[in-house]
A and B are shown apart, each in its own frame.
Chain A
C-alpha cells in the first residue's frame, strides 16, 4: 500500500501525484519509471518518475487522463492508497557532460524530461529546452523545467502562449543558430518521430524515451518490445531510452494502438458510471 500524499491539478487532464515510496525515492535516478496498479482489479501501467524527495521518501508522477486506469489513479484523494507501486525500473539516463543539449518535450512528455534535464544540467551541460503543447493550459512544469534550463522556449499550436508553432519549429531555430551536441526528445510518439527526423538531418545524436504498453515492466513478457536498428528490444529493460535515429517509430505507433478499440469502449463505459 502506497499512500498518496499530495495531488495537484495541472490542467483538466493532467494531474501531479506525490506518492510515498521511500525505497524507490532512494534508488531512483533520472530516466527511471514505476509500474503502478491502483487496486485489486486494476491493470499495471508504467509511469515515469518525474521527481523524488529522498528525505521525505516520496516520488512524483505526472499522469494524463486517457483511460480507466489513469482516471482511477487521478481520482484518488490525498490520504488514499495506491495498491502496488514497483520500481525504479528501466535503465537510468546516461548522464555525461557533452556541451550543449537540446531538450524537447511535447505535452505530458515534459514530465519525464524534467529529471533528465536536471541530471544533465547538474553534469555541467548547457541546456536549451523547447516545450510544446496544443494550447496555454496544456503547458506543464514550466517553472520547474526553467530551473534547469539555460534557455526555455515555449511553443503552442494555437499561439496562446509563447511562440506559435510546433516543437520542431522551436528546435530548428535553436539548431540553426548554435552548435548542439546532443538532443533529448520526449513526448507522444509522433512528436518524437518528427523531432528525431529533424535532428537526424543535422546529424545531432538524439535520445528518445519510449512509452509503450507494458504489463510486468521487468522484462518478463515482451509486451513493450520495439525495433531499434532492426533488432527487437524491450523498452522496460533495454530502455526506456534509445538512440532516436535507430527506433522504428512507425512500428511503435502501430503497437501502441493494440488495445485502442477495446480501451476506448471500456473508458467510455467507465465515464458513464462516474458521471
Chain B
C-alpha cells in the first residue's frame, strides 16, 4: 500500500485537484445535505422487478461529489476492501469528467456498476468517511456516486474496452464466472494471457445472476461487463463442471498452466429442525435460483415456483432480504422475516432493511422457528416459533439469543425460505485430496498471493472466505491474478 500512498498524494497535488478544492469553501461543502437516492414507489415496486434505486441525476451527483472534502488523509480508502481511489473518482465527477471517474474506478474495481449497488458501504467506505468519523454527519454517498459513474459510462454506449497486452499464449483456467472469477480473468486477460472461464451453470455471472434479484442488480449490467471481457479475448464455457466434466489433469494436459478457483459458497445450510423437509420449504438458494436464474415468476418460462401467500423467511442477511422481498413481489400477503436477534443486529445492508420495511415486509425479530407442520399432502402449513431475548454478547460482539421458556406459538405459513447461510461448494476440494482446507471448509490460501497448497491452484471469493461480499471476491480475484502472473512467469523462466 506504500506506493499507493505515494500515488494518492501525487494525484491529490495535481493542479486540477488543488483548484477544485479551492473552488468551494469547506464550510459550503459540509453544509450540503447528503443526496437522496430516488427510489421507486414501495407500493408499486413490491409487485414488480424494476430496480428500486433509480440512480442519481447528473446535477445531483455533481453536487454530492462537491461534498467530498478531498481529505489529505483519505480514511475512506482504508474502509474499501480493494482500495479504490475514492477521492479521485469523486473529484472527477465533480469536474464532470464522468468517463475519467469510471476509468479510475476500473483501476481497482472491475464491476463498479455492481459494487455501487450491492456493497455494504455503511460498513465500509462510508463508515470511514470524514463526515461519519469526525463531523458526525451523513457520509458522502460514495456508493451512489460509484454507481452513477459506472452507469453513465454504460449508458453512453461508449464503454472502453481495456487495452490488452500482446498475447503470450499461456493458458489460464478460471473456475467459476462469479465476481471473483471475472475479476481474475479481467486482469490476466489485460496482461496478455489466454484465459478461459469455466462455468457449471448455463448462465454466466454466478451469484450476480442467480442470487441477487433483478430489483437490486439488473442482469443486463452483468452481461454488459461480460461482453467487454469477451471483446478482450476471454473465452467462456458454460455447462462445464471442473472436477466432473473435465478434471484438473485434463486441463493440465490441455496446456493450462494455472488455475483460479472461484466456485463460491453455494452449499445451502438448513436448521435441521423437525419438518424442515416438508414441501414448500426451500433454501434461499433454490428460491432465488428459480426466480432470478430460471425466471420462474414469468409464466412463459417452464420452471415453476411456489407463490406463497404467507411466506416466512428465516435469517437476517442480505440473502434473507432478497428472498423476502422477492416473495412479496410474487404476491405474498404476508412476507415475514423471522430472525432470532434484533433488527439492529441483522447483518443485512441497512438499505435493504429500509427498503424491505417500506415494501411492507413484516419483521419478526427475536423469534426463531423450532418446528414445521404440514397438511395431508405434505405441504408446510404451520411454523412453530419461539420468542428470544438477548443475553450476553458472544465473540462477534452481538448479544446471544436465548429462548424464552413457554413462549412458543404457531404461525400459518404456506411457504418457508431458509436463509441461514451457505458453506463452500465441496466439489473441487472433494477431487483434490492434497488441497489444504480450513475448519470452515474453505480453501486455505496465502493471503498475499491467494495461492493454495496445490502449487498451480489459486483461489478467492467465497470459497476462501465463506459467504462474504462481491467486493471481497473481486479483490481476491485481482490479488490472485497478480499471484498467478508471478507464479507463471517464474515457472516459464525456469523452463
Q: Do chains A and B touch in the complex (CB under 8 A)?
A: yes
Taking each of A215, A251, A262, A266, which has the highest tally of chain B beta carbons within 10 Å of its own beta carbon? A215
Contact A257 B279, CB 8 Å, known A43-B302, A215-B290: yes
User: Is A83 in contact with chain B by the CB < 8 A criterion?
Assistant: yes
Please report the C-alpha to C-alpha distance between residue A84 and residue B200 in the assembled complex, in whole angstroms. Answer: 11
- Enumerate chain A residues within 8 angstroms of B301, measured Cβ to Cβ: 41-43
Q: Once the chains bind, are B279 and A225 in contact (CB under 8 Å)?
A: no
The 4 A-B residue pairs with the shortest CB-CB distance in the complex, in nearest-first order: A254-B378, A221-B286, A220-B266, A43-B303
Task: Report 30 cross-chain contacts, Cβ distance below 8 Å, ordered by A residue.
Answer: A23-B240, A41-B295, A42-B302, A43-B294, A44-B303, A69-B302, A84-B202, A84-B239, A86-B202, A86-B241, A88-B244, A88-B245, A89-B244, A215-B286, A215-B289, A218-B425, A219-B267, A219-B425, A219-B426, A222-B268, A222-B285, A223-B286, A226-B277, A232-B272, A237-B426, A254-B279, A255-B277, A255-B378, A258-B306, A259-B306
A172 to B451, CA, bound (A): 57
A215–B279 touching, CB < 8 Å: no
| Among A42, A68, A258, A263, contact of B279 (Cβ-Cβ < 8 Å) | A258
Smallest Cβ distance from A30 to chain B, in angstroms?
Answer: 15
Set of chain B residues within 8 Å of A215, measured between Cβ atoms: 286, 289-290, 294, 303
Q: Which of B247, B282, B286 has the most CB of A within 10 A?
A: B286
Q: Beta-carbon contacts of A171-215 to B below 8 Å, as 1s and 0s?
A: 000000000000000000000000000000000000000000001
| Minimal beta-carbon separation of B161 from chain A (angstroms) | 27
Q: Which of B245, B295, B304, B425 contacts A24 (CB 8 A)?
A: B245
Would A220 and B268 count as touching, CB distance under 8 A? Answer: yes
Residue in chain A with minimal CB distance to B278:
A254
Q: How many B residues have CB within 8 A of the partner chain?
A: 41
Known contacts A218-B266, A219-B426, A225-B277; A86 and B245 CB within 8 A of each other: yes
Partner of B241, one of A83, A89, A226: A89
Closest to A234 in B: B267
Max count, chain B CB within 10 A of own CB: residue among A23, A83, A222: A222
How far is B301's CA from A44's CA once the two chains are assembled, in angstroms?
A: 11
Among A24, A222, A263, point to the contact of B283 (Cβ < 8 A): A222
| B186 part of interface (Cβ distance < 8 Å) | no
Chain B interface (Cβ within 8 Å of chain A)? Answer: 200-202, 238-241, 244-247, 266-268, 270, 272, 276-280, 282-283, 285-286, 289-290, 294-295, 300-304, 306, 377-379, 425-427
Sorting the interface of chain A by its residue count into under 10, 10 to 19, 20 to 34 or 35 or more gives 35 or more
Nearest chain A CB to B262 CB, angstrom units: 14
Report the minimal beta-carbon distance from A177 to chain B, rounded to whole angstroms. Answer: 39
**A87 interfacial contact with B, CB 8 Å:** yes
Shortest beta-carbon distance, A36 to chain B, in Å?
10
User: Using Cβ atoms and an 8 Å threshold, which residues of chain A touch B245?
Assistant: 23-24, 27, 86-88
Q: A221-B282, A258-B279 are in contact. List 5 more A-B contacts (CB 8 A).
A: A87-B244, A215-B294, A221-B286, A254-B278, A257-B279
* CB of A216 within 8 Å of the partner chain: yes
The chain A residue with its CB closest to the CB of B267 is A219
**B277 and A218 contact, CB distance less than 8 A:** no
| B302–A41 CB distance below 8 A | yes
A37 within 8 A of B: yes
* Least Cβ–Cβ distance between A175 and chain B, in angstroms: 32
Chain B CB within 8 A of A108 CB: no
Q: A27-B244, A42-B302, A237-B426 are in contact. Are A232 and B282 (CB under 8 A)?
A: no
Q: Contacts of B426 on A, CB cut-off 8 Å? A: 219, 237
The CA-CA distance from A147 to B332 in the complex, in Å, is 55
Smallest Cβ distance from A104 to chain B, in angstroms?
A: 26
